[in-house]
Structure 1
């Protein structure tokens, strides 16, 4: 692996793995590839470390004592929508993979795996993260400037209040600009697959976002309703507005 990191930067990987032998072997491998590695042996320790350290990527085992990897993934996603999460597990059933991905994991690798495969998947996840960070740190939507790193909105220099959940929803819309997003897909991605919300939950938050970024919230041009299907977001104003 070459040309992985920006010049002068050592990226941090948090490894959450309860198998001591495997944890030591993976730590040695990752450090030999030039990464800074932090470790945790339980789900709770991993979640606490992820929130405190803000690593560049989390390698997360599923079968952990106490809080399992699925629970850690969901809770981490609620607090940090951006950190790449690569689930590492001996469970290879399709349903487990789907569950992990729906809870917010970026990728899924099944034990036993080779060093080359692990490093390639880490490389790909970090590359996507860098590209997204570069593109979406600051975004203009009409007259509103969104700074996702600072978690702020402003119009003509005046701040607009927004909750963490509203910012997470807005980031999801920005990342999927131009894509038709069904309400259930939004609900799973932003609130988590295990959240027992309804279409109305999404509608209420979309309406709240419209009051913050639309010039005329009753005739939206950025977050457009696609009747009977969901929503479509665009930074450029939609000439049709409202619904399709």
Structure 2
């Protein structure tokens, strides 16, 4: 089961931007939005309904320097991985980019498979960092510490390792249906001796924690032999 992750490409070269977007979309694991300037990127980032998992950022933008824009992103509290893409690859340029808050640096011309590999590597690192947070209904999900925070009620819910893994995988599925067997394989492993009944038991316990009415779940929903997570629902509030 492939979970779609959204990448923002900020690049003023239309041909290169289109090529990068085509490559990002090619494997089906990512979706991509494009911006040709910092102002256009700001407009996309300002949309509360859109969340980006990573940013590919050109240094030479028409309305600002990419390093300055990266610094602003960090100042605004945006913690997703930022990969600088630039023709300036001298050591000093690399250092300045990293000092501005970039996670990685890719010099033009680059091989497109390398671009994808860098994105995947940064996402793996970020997902396991203290900074990674995901919104699920009224909760802020922090998988690194197995915690759901509900700011409106000022309360915290502790999760088990398996509950955390279930939520993380369902969230990555982007609201799509995940069969119980897929969840079993992903969370318990292909060689596991447990069966799908174990998944059902863990989902039941998870619902007791996160749903306002566990008998009528609005976040973790059963669908034809599997589950989907309605992360946009505030049914538990």
TM-score by length of 2: 0.54
For 1:54, what is the secondary structure of its paired residue? Answer: coil
> What does residue range 132-211 of structure 1 map to in structure 2 within 5 Å?
132=129, 133=132, 137=142
Do structure 1's residue 121 and structure 2's residue 118 form an aligned pair? yes
Alignment equivalent of 2:37, drawn from 20, 39, 42: 42
Relative to 1, partners in 2 of residues 1:150 and 1:83: Cα closer, same or farther, differing over 3 Å?
A: farther
Question: More displaced, 106-115 or 71-80?
Answer: 71-80
The whole-number CA distance in structure 2 between the counterparts of 1:93 and 1:125 is 22
Contact 1:47/1:76 (8 A) holds in 2: no
**1:161-191 CA-partner distances (Å, limit 9, x unpaired):** xxxxxxxxxxxxxxxxxxxxxxxxxxxxxxx
Relative to 1, partners in 2 of residues 1:49 and 1:130: Cα closer, same or farther, differing over 3 Å?
A: same
The whole-number CA distance in structure 1 between the counterparts of 2:96 and 2:152 is 32
Question: Shift in Å at residue 80 of structure 1?
Answer: 2.9
Q: Which residue of 1 aligns with 2:189?
A: none
Gap runs ≥5 in structure 1: 1-6, 159-244
For 1:105, what is the secondary structure of its paired residue? Answer: coil
TM-score by length of 1: 0.52
> What does residue range 83-98 of structure 1 map to in structure 2 within 5 Å?
83-98=80-95
For 2:128, what is the secondary structure of its paired residue? Answer: helix
Contact 1:50/1:58 (8 A) holds in 2: no
Aligned length: 144
For 1:63, what is the secondary structure of its paired residue? Answer: coil
Relative to 1, partners in 2 of residues 1:105 and 1:152: Cα closer, same or farther, differing over 3 Å?
A: farther
Question: Shift in Å at residue 10 of structure 1?
Answer: 0.5
Contact 1:51/1:76 (8 A) holds in 2: no
Gap runs ≥5 in structure 2: 134-140, 157-237
Contact 2:128/2:144 (8 A) holds in 1: no
The whole-number CA distance in structure 2 between the counterparts of 1:139 and 1:117 is 27
The whole-number CA distance in structure 2 between the counterparts of 1:126 and 1:153 is 31
**1:111-166 CA-partner distances (Å, limit 9, x unpaired):** 000012111101100111222238x91787xxxx986x767996xx59xxxxxxxx
Contact 1:146/1:152 (8 A) holds in 2: no
The whole-number CA distance in structure 2 between the counterparts of 1:139 and 1:9 is 19
